[in-house]
């Protein structure tokens, strides 16, 4: 059963009065039932991905969407304008999918052919360095126009000085509802 | 919103019963299973679509990155990272969740309810329409390197 907002808010306020250490209690907006203003829209929300046109030396447009590999993980990458997100799943046939390392990333492409963002390890309590997340910048390597790569100079974490290689487009699947 | 991981601020929620809230764990909603990681005020997750015929996330995975507010909300962005390329109508958007507390018998549970969802490219997205994610338990145990 779901506690109603009114009851819940009262309970929370009661908890604050009772002296619990609670950062949220120090604000004037402790009630979760209040509406959230539109102005809280995130800075990199879907509407704010800007168009970007990066091209190889041969003039081919760069679209990072697809499957990439790095540090023994398959990366499912989605680019939308200058926004790039991915999910990386460690390739380990001995582990169930839900027990594998999963790293998520979001970043932004720049006209200087860099991709800057942050990653977070979702599934594993600690990586090699003990870190769960960090900022990261990749350079888009175009030496071989047929094999665009992403190079990281990160000092730690799963992307520590790694090169990501494009494997191919996302696989086509069976359309939902289709035969 | 924090621009980088370094901007994750310490934050502490407690339930009405006074227990500290950490959203890290396994959650389930109508879309599928969500593995959530909270680090201070920053919340990330991967959502794996669940359907009867395929393994989790075989067609669609959703990445979310948001920030906890002091008003018991999470506001952030999601992106559909499809493992199949045909789905294009719900690729990304912004969403706000409200943290709710409930109970099932003697067990207190936590829920995330979407209150504002926007998918500017059309399509409702996985979190439109008051979607509720319910906490199921800790993250699966994974081995260290």
Report the 3 state secondary structure along chain B. CCCCHHHCCCCCEECCCCCEECCCEEEECCCEEEEEEEECCEEEEEEEECCCCCCCCCCEEEEEEEEECCCCEEEEEEEEEECCCCCCCCCEEEEEEEEEEEEECCEEEEEEEEEEEECCCCCCCCCCCCCEEEEEECCCCCCCC
Which residues of A fall within a CB distance of 8 Å from B37?
Answer: 120-122, 132
Tell whether A9 lies on the interface with B, counting CB pairs under 8 A. Answer: no
User: Which of B40, B55, B38, B49 is closest to B112 using CA atoms?
Assistant: B38
Per-residue pLDDT of chain B (145 residues; tens, 9 = 90+): 444 445 788 888 887 778 888 999 999 998 899 999 998 999 999 999 888 877 788 888 899 999 999 889 999 999 888 776 555 545 788 899 999 988 767 777 889 999 877 655 555 678 887 889 999 988 876 654 4
- Interchain pair A46, B35: CB under 8 A: no
Structure tokens at A33: 């039932």
User: Searching chain B, which residue's CA lies closest to the CA of residue A95?
Assistant: B142
pLDDT digits (tens, 9 = 90+) for A17-32: 222 222 333 222 233 3
Q: What is the pTM of this model?
A: 0.77
Tell whether A129 lies on the interface with B, counting CB pairs under 8 A. Answer: no
Which residues of B fall within a CB distance of 8 Å from A132?
Answer: 37, 39
| Interface probe with A: pick from B8, B70, B104, B119, most Cβ of A within 10 Å | B70
pLDDT digits (tens, 9 = 90+) for A33-42: 333 333 333 3
């Amino acid at each position: 059963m779901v506690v109603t907002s009114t009851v819940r808010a009262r309970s929370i306020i009661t908890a604050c009065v009772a002296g619990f250490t609670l950062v949220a209690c120090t604000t004037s907006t402790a009630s979760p039932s209040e509406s959230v203003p539109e102005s809280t829209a995130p800075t990199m929300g879907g509407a704010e991905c800007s168009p970007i046109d990066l091209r190889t030396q041969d003039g081919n447009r760069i679209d990072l969407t697809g499957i990439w590999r790095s540090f023994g993980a398959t990366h499912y990458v989605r680019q939308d304008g200058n926004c790039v997100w991915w999910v990386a799943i460690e390739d380990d046939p001995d582990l169930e999918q839900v027990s594998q390392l999963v790293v998520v990333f979001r970043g932004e492409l720049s006209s200087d052919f860099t991709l800057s963002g942050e990653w977070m390890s979702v599934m594993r309590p600690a990586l090699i360095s003990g870190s769960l997340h960090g900022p990261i910048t990749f350079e888009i390597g175009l030496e071989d126009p047929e094999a665009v790569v992403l190079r990281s100079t990160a000092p730690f974490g799963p992307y520590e000085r790694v090169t990501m290689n494009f494997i191919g487009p996302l696989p086509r699947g069976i359309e939902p509802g289709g035969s | 919103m924090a621009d980088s991981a370094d901007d994750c601020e310490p934050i502490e929620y407690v339930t009405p019963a006074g227990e500290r809230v950490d959203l890290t764990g396994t959650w389930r909603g109508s879309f599928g299973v969500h593995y959530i990681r909270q680090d201070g005020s920053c919340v990330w997750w991967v959502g794996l679509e669940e359907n009867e015929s395929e393994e989790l996330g075989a067609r669609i995975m959703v990445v979310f990155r948001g920030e906890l507010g002091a008003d018991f909300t999470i506001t952030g962005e999601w992106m559909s990272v499809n493992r199949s390329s045909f789905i294009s109508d719900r690729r990304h958007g912004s969403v706000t969740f409200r943290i709710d507390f409930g109970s099932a018998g003697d067990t207190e549970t936590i829920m995330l309810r979407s209150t504002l969802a926007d998918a500017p490219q059309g399509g409702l997205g996985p979190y439109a329409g008051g979607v509720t994610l319910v906490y199921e338990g800790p993250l699966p145990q994974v081995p260290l390197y």
